């Protein structure tokens, strides 16, 4: 999957640069984009942390983690309506766990416990964009590299923190992820736009690739070209 996406990235980018040499095509533009992200895992997410946490009677609920993302992009026109946009972004991902769980070795942590997987990814999407006036529709493949993943656990009684601990969970997860992303954008001006997209991971995220858990997420951001 990673090799296929890398080949697609090189092929499309090379073709796009060749196309921009034509006088009929608009110039290549660059810019940066950043905004908010809401990410989680779909499938058996909690099994990824079984080496760090004990789960009591399976009574654990997962919810999405809110974060932010930001990075740079290049928009490469193919013609007046189509363009290719490779980019590279830092993205906060992960998910929250609440319920009956224990950090292994800390028996007092129980029903009042909370845990948050704090993952830091580098996302590299290659988007095909259809420009319809001020509206853009886009989709394409995306590869992601996991830089770090920490598990932060907290527990308290009557507003008093009894535990606030962070553990390295990076080796519990696959360093590489592959998926697709797509969404819609709106141009406020020639160089400013807002986008909303959905990331759909296709690769199992656990280190052994035997747990059915996949990254999913929504991004909403503002892009500025120059």
- Write out pLDDT tens, residues 5-51: 454 455 445 544 554 444 455 789 999 999 999 999 988 887 888 77
Structurally, the chain folds into a number of domains equal to 1
203 in a structural domain: yes
- Find residue 122's DSSP bridge partners: 90, 145
Question: What are the start-end ranges of the E strands in the chain?
Answer: 29-43, 53-77, 82-103, 113-132, 135-157, 160-168, 176-187, 192-201, 213-225
Q: In the prediction, which pLDDT does 160 show?
A: 58
168 in a structural domain: no
Rounded (5°) CA angle 161-165-169: 150
Q: How far apart are CA 26 and CA 29, in angstroms?
A: 9
32 in a structural domain: yes
83 in a structural domain: yes
167 in a structural domain: no
Q: In the prediction, which pLDDT does 3 show?
A: 52
Q: What residue numbers bound the domain in which 78 lies? A: 2-42+66-98+117-151+174-225
Q: How far apart are CA 76 and CA 29, in angstroms?
A: 7
> What are the pLDDT digits (tens) for 109-161?
555 678 899 999 999 999 999 999 999 999 999 999 999 999 998 876 655 56
Looking up residue 29, the CATH number of its domain turns out to be: 2.40.160.20
48 in a structural domain: no
77 in a structural domain: yes
55 in a structural domain: no
């Amino acid at each position: 999957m990673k090799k296929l996406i890398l080949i697609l990235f090189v092929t499309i980018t090379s073709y796009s640069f060749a196309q921009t040499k034509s006088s009929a095509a608009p110039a290549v533009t660059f810019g940066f984009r950043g905004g908010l992200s809401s990410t989680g895992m779909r499938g058996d997410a909690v099994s990824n942390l079984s080496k760090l946490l004990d789960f009591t009677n399976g009574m654990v609920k997962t919810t999405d983690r809110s974060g932010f993302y930001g990075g740079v992009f290049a928009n490469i026109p193919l013609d007046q309506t189509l363009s290719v946009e490779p980019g590279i972004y830092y993205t906060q991902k992960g998910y929250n766990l609440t319920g009956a769980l224990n950090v292994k070795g800390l028996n007092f942590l129980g029903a009042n416990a909370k845990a948050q997987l704090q993952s830091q990814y580098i996302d590299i999407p290659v988007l095909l964009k259809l420009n319809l006036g001020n509206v853009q529709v886009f989709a394409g493949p995306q590869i992601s590299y996991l830089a770090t993943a920490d598990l932060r656990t907290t527990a308290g009684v009557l507003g008093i923190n009894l535990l606030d601990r962070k553990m390295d969970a990076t080796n519990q997860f696959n360093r590489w992820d592959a998926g697709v992303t797509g969404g819609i954008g709106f141009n406020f001006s020639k160089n400013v736009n807002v986008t909303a997209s959905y990331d759909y991971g296709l690769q199992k995220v656990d280190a052994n690739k035997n747990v059915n858990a996949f990254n999913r997420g929504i991004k909403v951001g503002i892009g500025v070209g120059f």
